[in-house]
Amino acid sequence: MNIFLLTSLILVISFIPAIIATIRGDAIDRLIGMSLGGIISTLCLITLAVGTGRSIYIDVALTVAFLSFSGTIAFARFLERWL
């Protein structure tokens, strides 16, 4: 296991605070948790891509980053209406 895989494993563990914030928090906390989860998953997939030398993970990371960004924007827009 090289340093990049170890980094990705640690990033997976760092999902825990995001999940706790998502489940226990209110609407804004959930939005922040989801955004944090998107960033962590993007970073994790990029480190995996570098660690394994497989470019397919980069594609997945790009897709996750795009969806996470647009999802957060859309969610924030609707949150404005719900609040």
Partner 1 sequence: MSKQRIDSSLMQYIHVLIVTILVAGTWILFSAEFNPQEAIAAIVAGLATGMGGYVLRKQTRHKIFGFRLWLKHLPRFFAGGLTDCWVLTKMLFRMVAGYPSRSTFKKIPFDTGVGKPVDTGRLVLATYGITLQPNSYVVGFNKDRDEMLIHLLDPNHERPIKEDIRRPS
Closest CA to 58 of 67, 46, 40: 46
Shortest reach from residue 44's CB to partner 1, in Å: 5
DSSP result, 36-55: HHHHHHHHHHHHHHHHHT-T
Residue found under tokens 């957060």: 72
Residues of the shown chain interacting with partner 1 in the complex, contacts defined by CB under 8 A: 1, 5, 8-9, 11-12, 15, 18-19, 22-24, 27, 30-31, 33-34, 37-38, 40-41, 44-45, 48, 51-52, 54, 57, 60, 64, 68, 71, 75, 78-79, 82
| In the complex, least distance from residue 49 CB atom to partner 1, rounded to whole angstroms | 9
